[in-house]
Structure 1
Amino acid sequence: MLSLLIVDDEPTIVDTLAFTIDWEKLEIMTVYKAYSAKEALSILSEHAVDIVIADINMPRMTGIELVAQIYKQYRHVKSVLLSGYAEFAYAKQAIHYGVSDYLLKPLSDDDLIALIRKLVQQIKEEWEEVVSRRRVVHTLKESLPVLRDKLLNELLMNRVKEEEDFLHLLELYDLPFRFDDDICVMVIRMEESLPEFNDRDFFLLEYAVINIAVEMLGDSYDLWSCKDANDCLVLLVRKKSGRDEDGTGEEHKKFDALAMQLQRNIGLYLKRVVSIIVSKWGRFPGDVNVLYSYMTEQIRSRLANESGCFLSGELSEDAFVQQPLHRMYETPTLHHLLENRRWDEYRDKLETVIQDMKQAGSLSSEHVQEAYTLVAGSFYFYAHKHNRLLSDLVGGTSVLGRTVHSVQQLSEWAHYMLDKIQNSDQAEQRSSKDKLTLKIREYIDRNLSTASLQTIADAVYLHPVYLSRLYKDKTGEGVSEYIHKQRMVKAAEMLKDDSLKIYEISEQLGFKNAAYFSKVFREEFGMTPNEYREQL
């Protein structure tokens, strides 16, 4: 939905345009009003406006001077000038200021509606151009480092699902890795906390490390880097010359020697201590997650109290055995998923852990209890973060102390609890919307003379567009429709009091003049206010 600003030093014209046109049908959600060019510029500085309709003949600052300022400061805004016959030639000068069109006074509703429809379509087409292939390709090039980082992290966590989609992304991101390539994984861990460093300093340091790696290894190897959840640099390495077919492992030994030299150069040129861990060699992409998991396990078990170490990939095979709950600790955690109401992702992660446990070669009852404790902890965390008791969310305390002995019992209990919590959250969301709708209506009833979408939004601390959409979804009518309906109901009630003049009723209901009030009243009831009063 778009927004429109009407500018004219004659309030009657502004108010008539604002209230007699069904703007929502034209996809105009918000209509701002200004009675001078200065007021219009103030509104433009505070609100997002898409279309401006301005009279050309205004005191102090003319419409042409206004659109010149708009063209200078707000190039995206569409400007329309209103002019009389005598001013039309003068108005054409404004073509230099990007004026979209002109309308002659006296203004026809049909002409205005046709023009607004045309401008709305133009704005849509311009936004479509923004997301067109040319812009997407340009944006993609700028975003490649972030996109590559994200994709490699997904690969490390074994979250790449569809092979065809993955191949497409490799090509789109200009990555030379192909299925069945000979690869290994290198992890570089910074060993110094560097408390005086800020985020930018760390970024530049990591950038320098990657540059040194590319300089040393780039002739013989393709590198794909990312920063993992443990704040380590991870490099996926691919041999450019193909596989080590002779079986001697000499090429792999040469790479280990280069990796050791990389560690020395980082210390020599950057004056920083790092640990480097190089995995065994495997095949892309199937072995990436296994190799990476093996290395993170080595870091946890062997480098907890060590720094500046170098570990080669040629270690025993038993290190490849993963713990059945390792995915439980991977990011995003269960706490994080619940905190952000990512219900489906929570279920997927839970199901993945359950399947890992079912397929584990040896699973003790302690593993089941560990998983139960972690899942239950995430539920308690969510409840208490929202100032609720978990027993209130799930309908009692009996289910909280449930004894879980098997993976199947854990699965059934966890899904039952999650369904209860999600249903409770959705009910609370519906209740919040009901309360907000009541609050909006109470505000309108108390402030009939001044109520507008913007004033209501300010009163309830919501964006006007979001408020309008939420209210219409809940009630089936627009905010402006409700305001209009309540004003007409109040007008009919006030007309019963003979002591009130028509213009007094008009002013009390927020209409700028009695003539416009009479026009709107007649459209609603089929008779003028005086005729209605006489009938009573």
Structure 2
Amino acid sequence: MYKVMIVEDEEFIMQGICLIVDWEKLGLEVVHKAQDGTEAIDLWEQEKVDIIITDICMPQMGGLELLKKIREQSEQVRFIILSGYDQFEYARQAITLDVEDYILKPIDEEKLMQVLEDTVSKIQSLNKKKNYSIDELRKAGCLLKEPWDPEKAAIHMKELELALYQPCFAFATMKYKISTLKEDELASIYNYLVTEYKGDNMKVLFTEKDELLLLISWEEVGKKNPLAYFKKLQNQLEEKFDKPAFITVGPVLSQMQDLAKAYRHTRKLQRYLIIEGYGSCIDESYVCNRMHEDIDFDEDKLYNLIIHKDKEGAAAYLEDLIVNNITMEKYSIEVIDTTLVRVMILLQKIKDEFGIESASHQFYVTELLEEIYHADDISIIKGAIIVEMVELIELLQIENSQYSPVVKQIMAKVKNDYREDMSLKTLAGKYRMNPSYLGQIFLREVGCTFSQYLNNTRIKVARELILKTNMRMHDISNEIGYVDISYFYRMFRKYYGISPASLREIKSTTEEINTWQEVNQIEK
């Protein structure tokens, strides 16, 4: 089923569109309904759609501005414009922005159905063009597979017009941030490279969903500098597409069967992305002077900060440990990874030592390490670790505290009914206590106000839903008792230091990479 969003500020027209179309018959599903462009953008960010049916004139943000903003993120989504007679010229402008059609009000049912059918056909046609990636992945898989299979390799080398016995080969891996790429944009970059660099004997292969392998055969050894060549290429691509890439350059090879081993080495270099960031180009010389001795990680200090529930102190220590040691650019990535593992093991050790169990919080070292390994930004790594540390300190506070009966009842009430609209005043009435006095007791025993405790509980549940389900942010907000999604975003960022969307992105990026790697493995 293709997903549809309807954007219309007149409710009766909105309902009419929903009722006159047999959506299921067309293979369509209306997943969003918005009153104007601003609301439509918010809904789009929560869940992308394939087709947007929108009015032109609406409050806050009109249809043409909405179209321009969505087009900045996606060339794939199809637009159908609704227009009144007096807005005909606006509709004509929309045609230049690549819309499927415009429909004049009052809406003609047959016209709308025909336009939707044509739009579905166009989407299906566009989707067929995506098969290029699997074919290229198969070719790359053969060349990068060990042990080397000369017969299969010869077939694919012939398809790629690569001579097996050129004097030398230069190669590099080029990685893009998935979330910044529009649909099919990597294919556009691929086509540009194949066309513009054909004279350089360059061959381009897809190896991952966000990665290209660039191969160049050179007739003379030693007369060209691979690092300088790929840096120049990188600058030209960034100027053309305005999308920075991270390039790792491999050693010059004298025979193609050495490619698989050398490729593995360049993939290891890609871990330095968290240090250099997108827009950089490195080779082995970048890491040769980095230290392989252990980072000075004071486990006892962090242990004491955590068990004494010093959130600020523990967060500051981790900030210094992770950020400063990485940005100083003196340690190898292997040493940095080892340090991150030691931090994870320490958190798990504290959890085991204090026997912390919670139905809503399952702390898995392996899952967090997976998130960290696939992160491409040091702030994501820092955020993921601090989120887990804050959760652990919260659980320590619960496990190690002795509460009065009334406070225990309130905490149980919040745990079971956090979705409800509750306040300390209503609970004080229930327990026949003065609200001010009850608030003082709660603050003294729990260490935070009732309002803070309720928000903390809701936000922790939201975190689990973000990581373990595919629920939309709006639905998660409602599920935990927040009607205003903007307030939910503010509270989440205040509690964890990152937005709900950023946390979902960590999960999505990890899942996408894992899925693509599974496909890669099958093709190999």
TM-score computed with the length of structure 1 as normaliser: 0.31
- The structure whose Rg is larger is 1
